[in-house]
Amino acid sequence: MSIPVRTSVNITVRSAAKINLHLGVGAPRDDGFHPLTTVYQAVGLCDDLTATLPGEQDAPWDLRLRVADYIDPGAVPVDDDNIVARAATLLAAHHGVPVRGHIDVDKAIPVAGGLAGGSADAAAALVALDRLWDARTSDDDLLTLAAELGSDVPFALIGGTALGTGRGELVTPLPDGGTWWWVLVPSRDGLATPDVYRHFDKLFPDAPAVPPPADELLDAVASGDPVRLARLLRNDLQEPALDLRPDLGVLLERGESEGALRGIISGSGPTCAFLCESSDHARDLAGALMRHGRTVVLVANGAVAGAHLVENLHG
């Protein structure tokens, strides 16, 4: 009897979408970024990234993408512009090693949807390649590299429910007493984050230097009461997003009239997120929205973990 030999090592990392329960935005800083007080929540709508070491005959690096049927594959670059390639280059430079790896990304998080799908992939790439290269990056260094990749990327590493300050990159985990049920309705056409921030500046030229705080909402999150949380959800990018995409206002009203505790735009949009009381309530609402002609309606609960290794069945 021969014992099977593992010829390659596969590392699979799962990374979640986020919703901003509170997105308080201040006037732009000198570097152009907006100061934020935000409360992130990671929800169970995830991308999986698998990294494999190339064989000796193989190209040192390649990136493949598989997408859910509601995602346009053409919306995601597969060259050096992909944030996964940027993460690999940054981590390799940090350790002075060459970039090596075959990467497969299985995307379920809608693209340019305000759900931080690219940030989730970047965090997954940092965790997977650190393990694949046996680089042993410290947590502090991983967070620093994550912040270089994007304001939302440190939260994608940490997950759960957390406070984000600075430009969103300074993340502190929060006590969360609930299981929160969300119905997510993505749009076929994305909204570009910089466009929505630019529109915020146009609509609110007198925005405060210090972004609005989230104190009451933090109490609601700790209490676990969805009715209380629903009242306190706040997104300062909602008005600019709705101004750019008035159709989203109709969708928010529809979800609320069908019984959602509250509908909000997720981050810079255009995904609409509806808070529900329970999993049954979320399923009922999803059914109602589909009967009204929405073809893509997703149910997800939070809070879930940040980027983490999962068992690889193909390894």
Ligand X SMILES: C[C@@](CO)(OP(=O)(O)O)[C@H](O)COP(=O)(O)OP(=O)(O)OC[C@H]1O[C@@H](n2ccc(N)nc2=O)[C@H](O)[C@@H]1O
Ligand Y SMILES: Nc1ncnc2c1ncn2[C@@H]1O[C@H](COP(=O)(O)OP(=O)(O)O)[C@@H](O)[C@H]1O
Enumerate the active-site residues: 18, 152
Selected binder of ligand X within 197, 223, 224, 242 (CB under 6 A) = 197
Q: Does 118 bind ligand Y (CB under 6 A)?
A: yes
User: With binding defined as CB under 6 A, does residue 121 bind ligand X?
Assistant: no
Binder to ligand X among 101, 110, 114, 159 (CB under 6 A)?
A: 114
- Interface of this chain with ligand Y, residues 268 to 287, rule: CB under 6 A: 268
Of 15-34, binders to ligand X (CB under 6 A) are 20, 23, 33-34
Site size for ligand Y, by CB under 6 A?
Answer: 20
Does position 193 interact with ligand Y (CB under 6 A)? The reply is yes
* CB contact at 8 A, 184 and 115: yes
58 — alpha (psi -120 to 50), left (phi > 0) or beta?
beta
Q: Report DSSP letters for 63-132, one per residue.
A: EEEEE-TTS-GGGS--STTSHHHHHHHHHHHHHT----EEEEEEE-SPTTSSS-HHHHHHHHHHHHHHHH
Q: Does 154 bind ligand X (CB under 6 A)?
A: no
CB of 178 to ligand X, least distance (A): 20
Q: How is residue 54 annotated by DSSP?
A: P
Residue 261 CB, shortest distance to ligand Y, in Å, is 24
Q: How many CB atoms lie within 10 A of CB 261?
A: 20
Parallel, antiparallel, or unpaired: how do β-strands 10-25 and 234-235 relate?
parallel
Q: Quick one: which of 108, 114, 112, 110 has its CA closest to 18?
A: 114
Identify residue 224 by its one-letter amino acid code.
G
Residue 186 binds which entry of ligand X, ligand Y, none, CB below 5-8 Å type-dependent: none
Q: Which of ligand X, ligand Y, none is residue 301 near (CB under 5 to 8 Å by kind)?
A: none
Minimum distance from CB of 243 to ligand Y (Å)? 17
- Considering only 41, 151, 187, 301, the residue that binds ligand X (CB under 6 A) is 151
- The alpha carbon of 181 is separated from its chain's Cα centroid by a whole number of angstroms, namely 16
Q: Which residues make up the interface to ligand X (CB under 6 A)?
A: 20, 23, 33-34, 36, 38, 114, 116, 119, 150-152, 167-168, 193-194, 197, 267-268
